[in-house]
Each structure stands twice: as structure tokens, then as C-alpha cells.
Amino acid sequence: MKEFTLLEIIRRLGQLLISLFVLLIVTFTIGRVLPTDPVGAIVGELADPAAYTAMRQKLGLDLPIYEQFFIYLNSLLHGDLGVAVLTGNPVTKDLAQAFPATLELATLAVIISTVLGVPLGMIAAFFRDTWIDKVARVISLVGHSIPVFWFGVVGLVIFYAGLSWVGGPGRVDTYLEGLVEPRTGLLLIDSLLVGDTETFWNAASHIILPACILAYSAMAYITRMTRSFTLEQLNQDYVIAARAKGASSLQILTGHLLPNIAVQLVTVLAISYGTLLEGAVVTEIVFSWPGIGQYMTNALMIGDMNAILAGTLIIGFIFMILNFISDLAYLLLDPRTREVTP
């Protein structure tokens, strides 16, 4: 059985590597055929033709696309993602500064959505067709239907401009920027590590609104899927037996239903987390959040292909890694997936 599990892990790891290589090919090809001019973004629209040609040759854009791809692949394997036109820094340095902000925002959002969405979905299924179930379905429907940017703008108008309950755009107020030395890149954690409570609470007031808005969209999906999983289990023999023994609703929900849907929830939560990392772009723009989404948007505006390609690869890589981890969790937690068919 252990040998089978190890072989399955190796097989899925091979699939992951193949998927990453395909993602690299597709991303690179799209980046080269898009109607953008990376040379013009570097030398400027009024550059001398000779300077334009020299820069084009320096970037290797005069070579066939397959040669460009292998040059890019070789640089990638050596950790070189090029230089960003927007900042003049190596793209790896820019991503190392921008990605922690997105990671912090998405992580808090997935925690909120999980804490609220899983219980709501289970309770809605347990009390099917009651007012609780109807409210849960309305909440999910609204979360799926209304765009995130609309929630963001309305949230800023009401809770920041109107009520002053939360901080405004950005990760922290201007006078506190740069005061905390980045250790993990996660401002909430870094401020606690150095004991700077003022920066911590200020950062918390800034992140809570975008995190809750992102969490709402994820919670809608988590609630709907949790409700579906729970409904499948409610008519199973073990639930009927638990009710016959006099188990309370809470005992059935937490002691019987939750463990049996946990494996399926792992996949749902992994997908939600990846989607939050990928889909934080709009939220970051609305809240001026200095994450990878805003970085890629600014790069796209000027045709900075090095930054765009690198950001796309990072997001795609993380999404695939999360799917790989969820597959492993499914394989290790559910014995049925390890059964060998004769």
C-alpha cells in the first residue's frame, strides 16, 4: 500500500512538472504574439532607429521565437527573470517585494471565508429548506453575482469615507511606511515580531476591508460546496444511527458529518486559496494594495513583458502547487483512493 502511494505521488509530481512546462510555453508564446512593444517601452517612442534596433537585438527579439524561448528558459533556470521596465529592478526583486502583500491578503481572506463558509454550508444543509437554508443560499448567490470591485468601492465609501471604521487604501498609513523591517514580508507578522503595536493595528485596519470583500466571494463558493457535500452525507447510515442514539445536532455536525466531508473540503479550500491569489488583482487596484496584482497591472499598461510573464508564471505555479497538495491530501486522507483495482 505504501509503495502504491509513493508511486502515485511520483506520478502526480510528474504531471505537475509537465503542466508547469506547458504553462511556460503558453505564457511565453502569448507574451510574444501580443500587440505590445517591449523595446519601445524601454527606449521610448521617440528613440533613434539605431538605438531601437540595438535594443531589439540585445533582447533577442530578432531571433526566431523558438530560440527566444530556449534563451528565456535558460535564464529562468538560472533564476533570471529579466529586468522590469517599470522599476529598473530585477523582476525577481520586485516580485519578492510585491508577492508577500498578496499572500497576506489572500491568506487572511481564505481564513475568514473558511471559518464562516464551512459552518454556514453545513448548517444550511442540516436545516434544509428552512429560513436558515434560504438565507445561506441568498448569501451565496449575492457573492457569486456582484463584482468584487463594486463591493470594494461601496465598502470604501461606507466604512472608510463615511464611518471611518477602517483604514483607507494601501497597507498602512503613509507616516508608518518603511518603519518595520521586512522579515517575512507579511506586515502584520513583522510588526508583531518587532513589538510595533501601532503599525500592527494600523495595518490591521487597512487589510480588514479588502480581506473581507475577497473572503465574501470565496465564502459564497465554499458555502455552496459544503452544503452540497453535507446533503450527500445526511442520508447515510451512520447519520441515521447517530440520530437513533440520541446524538445532538452539534454532535452530528462536528463529530460525524465534518470528518466525512473534510477530504472533499481540502480540494475546495485549495481551489479557493489559489483563486484568491489569482483574483486579487481587482481588489488590489481598488484598494491600492501593493501586491503582485497591482504590479502586473502597472506592467501591462506599459507593455513590460518581463514583469507580466514572471507574474503569470508565479500565479500559475502557485495554483498548480495548491492543486498538487490537495491531491496529495486527498490521496493520504481517503483510504478509498489508495485501493488497487484488481
Q: On the CB side of 167, how many CA atoms lie within 13 Å of its CA? A: 22
Of residues 95, 144, 76, the one with CA closest to residue 277: 95
Residue 115 is predicted with a pLDDT of 93
Domain check: are 194 and 230 in the same one? yes
Residue 63 is predicted with a pLDDT of 76
Residue 82 within a domain: no
* Domain limit, last residue, from 49, 77, 105: 77
Domain check: are 227 and 250 in the same one? yes
Q: What residues does 90 pair with on adjacent strands? A: 83
pTM over 0.95: no
Residue 108 is predicted with a pLDDT of 92
* Domain limit, last residue, from 47, 77, 107: 77
Domain check: are 250 and 322 in the same one? yes
Domain check: are 183 and 301 in the same one? yes
Instruction: Answer whether residue 112 shows pLDDT above 90.
Output: yes
Domain check: are 184 and 49 in the same one? no
Residue 254 is predicted with a pLDDT of 80
Residue 175 within a domain: yes
Residue-wise pLDDT for 157-188, tens only, equals 999 988 889 888 888 888 888 888 888 888 89
Residue 281 within a domain: yes
Instruction: Answer whether residue 113 shows pLDDT above 80.
Output: yes
Residue 86 within a domain: no
Domain check: are 62 and 125 in the same one? no
Residue 84 within a domain: no
Residue 48 within a domain: yes
State how far the Cα of 90 lies from the Cα of 306, in Å rounded to an integer.
9
Residue 126 within a domain: yes
Q: Provide mean pLDDT across the span 37-49.
A: 68
**Domains of the chain: total:** 2
Residue 85 within a domain: no
Are 217 and 275 a contacting pair, CB within 8 Å? no
Domain check: are 234 and 172 in the same one? yes
Q: Provide mean pLDDT across the span 111-119.
A: 92
* Domain limit, last residue, from 77, 107, 137: 77
* Cα four-point dihedral sign 87, 90, 93, 98: positive
Domain check: are 41 and 169 in the same one? no
**What CATH number did the domain enclosing 323 receive?**
1.10.3720.10
Residue 340 is predicted with a pLDDT of 46
Most confident of 156-160, 301-305, 306-310, 332-336: 156-160
Domain check: are 206 and 258 in the same one? yes
* Cα four-point dihedral sign 85, 89, 95, 97: negative
Domain check: are 279 and 320 in the same one? yes
**13: domain range?**
2-77
Instruction: Answer whether residue 48 shows pLDDT above 80.
Output: no
Domain check: are 72 and 156 in the same one? no
Domain check: are 301 and 244 in the same one? yes
What's the pLDDT band for 1 if we cut at 50, 70, 90? very low
User: Average per-residue pLDDT in the chain?
Assistant: 82
Residue 293 is predicted with a pLDDT of 82
State the SS3 of the chain. CHHHHHHHHHHHHHHHHHHHHHHHHHHHHHHHHCCCCHHHHHHCCCCCHHHHHHHHHHCCCCCCHHHHHHHHHHHHHCCCCCECCCCCCEHHHHHHHHHHHHHHHHHHHHHHHHHHHHHHHHHHHHCCCCHHHHHHHHHHHHHHHCCHHHHHHHHHHHHHHHCCCCCCCCCCCHHHCCCCCCCCCCHHHHHHHCCCHHHHHHHHHHHHHHHHHHHHHHHHHHHHHHHHHHHHHHCCHHHHHHHHCCCCHHHHHHHHHHHHHHHHHHHHHHHHHHHHHHHCHHHHHHCCCCCHHHHHHHHHHHCCHHHHHHHHHHHHHHHHHHHHHHHHHHHHHCHHHHCCCC
